[in-house]
Every structure is written in structure tokens, then in C-alpha cells.
Structure 1
Amino acid sequence: MTHSHIDHIEMSIPAKAEYVGVVRLTISGIANRLGFSYDDIEDMKIAVAEACTNAVNHAYHEEGNVKIACDLYEDRMEIIIADNGQSFDAKDLQGKLGPVDSKQPIGDMKEGGLGLFLISTLMDKVQIHDEAGVVLMMTKFLRKNEVEEHVDGISSLQSEQG
């Protein structure tokens, strides 16, 4: 079953550390609206802040912008963070993105190798592309159905035992 695309949101911030919090708040608000759990939202906020900080550190010397895009689906949220200051097309990027190898530092993320490792532990899927700047795509799945199934499983177990 393919889950339909709901919305696409894009924002651009100056490559300055003081704007990272704005992105965190925005992602938090969007994730909350989609129905993500508190814990998942906290994980997403940390991952996004980490990715934005890496992007800011990578792009600041060019006084560029960091671009953030969110694609919302019924079952997940995809967040793309790009530090090359160019506009990006998520569809175009899909084919270029590869898996993150935490043992293989990327570009200026050498010191942020831990950051990249942290991001991949907090998000469900992380992909990277580093041709003209670094583009990071992070996916978090909405676990509504799993929770409902889990709750149903517990209640049926209890009724059998009762």
C-alpha cells in the first residue's frame, strides 16, 4: 500500500547558528500536527538541530543559506537539509541519495562524525549526498498503527488471561 503525499514545506535560513532553533521549533510543530509521539518529536528535534548545525558550519564561510524541506506523508515525515544554498528538487535528489556510513566521515562532517551517527540513531532512515555541498535526508515513520496493534494485542492477551 502506498501512502499518499500530504504536503511539501520548504524554508530557507541564513547559515547562522541562531536560526537553528527556529528550524527545531518548526519541525516540532509540523511533527506534532501529524500526530508523532512526544519521544519521536524530541528525537527529530535533536536530529534536525544536529543536521542544521553541521550545515551551518559547512556553509557559513560562503554566507549562504541552509535549505530545509519537509515532505509529509500519511505514514512518515521526510526532512531534507541542504547546505549548498541552491534550491533542490526532492524528486531529483531521491536517485542521488545514498545510505549514511557512520564510519566514513563526509566533507566537513569529520568532527560531526558523531553528529551523523547520532542522527542515524534518532531517525528511522538517513541518506546523504555530498556533491555540491552536503544534502541530508532524514525519515521518521509515524507509528500510529503499530501502537494501535500493540494496544489491541495487550488487551486481547489480558482478556484471555482474565
Structure 2
Amino acid sequence: MAEQKPQADVIRLTLPNQTEYLGVARLTVSGIANRMGFSYEEIEDIKLAVGEACTNAVIHAYKGKEEVGFIHIECQVFPDRLCIEVSDQGIGFASELIPEQLTPIFAGRDLDDLDEGGLGLYLIHTLMDEVVIRSEAGVAVSMTKYVRRDGVAGDDWTNSETEV
């Protein structure tokens, strides 16, 4: 008998490639991650990574084209992980990422001067457990965050309380 692969629930969202809709993407993944049992901090990390990927698409994907284009977000919900892919059909980038694209901040730039999207791919790699970037017809950023069951997030705060 062949082993079955775990089935995922799939949620797909297509948004206009406009900054006004980035909050919808963050809110959607936040709700999914909350339902899965991620901690508050992990949900914030996921929202930030998705926000960065979407911001990169808004800024870079359809540069120079008249049509607005779309950002596609697909969330695959597995029992042990959340896989999120943010993709567009815009302008891709070179097939090999240069090291500077994965560094946090260029020398001389103050952290307060960075807008969302300013930390880019480095931040996405830092916040998520696995990241795969493809650039064929557009760009697809696949991000995975694993649910940590060994240290249940809800139990940590009860151990740190002091008796009055």
C-alpha cells in the first residue's frame, strides 16, 4: 500500500497590483496562521514576510507596463506547516540572486529611513523557515513556516507568572 501525501487546504487570493490592497494580503495570512495555532510573534513574522513579497511585486513586477497586473497569493495549510506563494507575471530578475539582494541594509542607510519593502529578500529569508524564489514568467516567492508543537505558544506565559 502506497503512503499517501498529506493533503493541504488551499486558499487562493488574487489582488490588483496596488499598494492599497497589501493590507488584505496581510490580513488573510494572519487569519490563516492564527487558525493554525501560530504564536503572535510567528503571525507577525508571516505577515511581514508576505508584506515584503507583495511590496516587491508592486514596486518591481509591472514597471513600465500600462496594465496594472495582479499579485497571486496561494496558501497551503498542512497540519505541520503553512506554505505561502506570492507570484506575479511581471518583469522577473536575473536567474541568480546577487549576494547584495540578501543583505539586510546597505551601508549608511538608517533603519528608520526604510519603507516596507526596504529589507526585501533578506527579511523574508530571516523570518520564514524555508524560502524558494523562482523567476520564469514573473517572480514567485514560496515561503514556508512550520508550526512548533514542542513549545506550545499558549503555555509559555503561564510558566512565567509570579504569585502575588
Tell me by how many angstroms 1:147 deviates.
Answer: 1.1
Equivalent residue number for residue 13 of structure 2: 11
Equivalent residue number for residue 27 of structure 2: 25
Query: RMSD of aligned C-alpha atoms?
Result: 2.9
Residues 1:103 and 2:99 are matched in the alignment: yes
In structure 1, the gaps of 5 or more residues are 86-97, 107-111, 156-162
TM normalised by structure 2 equals 0.71
The separation in 2 between residues aligned to 1:14 and 1:113, in whole angstroms, is 21
Tell me by how many angstroms 1:114 deviates.
Answer: 3.3
TM normalised by structure 1 equals 0.72
The separation in 2 between residues aligned to 1:31 and 1:40, in whole angstroms, is 8
User: Is the alpha carbon distance of 1:74 and 1:3 closer, same or farther for their aligned partners in structure 2, counting shifts above 3 Å?
Assistant: farther
Q: Deviations over 1:16-65 (max 9, x none)?
A: 00100000000000000011111100000000000000011123444100
Tell me by how many angstroms 1:128 deviates.
Answer: 0.6
**Number of residues of Structure 1 aligned to a counterpart in Structure 2:** 132
In structure 2, the gaps of 5 or more residues are 103-116, 160-164
Tell me by how many angstroms 1:5 deviates.
Answer: 2.4
The separation in 2 between residues aligned to 1:102 and 1:141, in whole angstroms, is 27
> Which protein has the bigger helix share?
1
Residues 1:80 and 2:89 are matched in the alignment: no
Equivalent residue number for residue 88 of structure 1: none
User: Is the alpha carbon distance of 1:37 and 1:101 closer, same or farther for their aligned partners in structure 2, counting shifts above 3 Å?
Assistant: farther
Equivalent residue number for residue 117 of structure 1: 122
Residues 1:67 and 2:63 are matched in the alignment: no
Report if the CA contact (8 A) 2:101-2:120 is conserved.
no
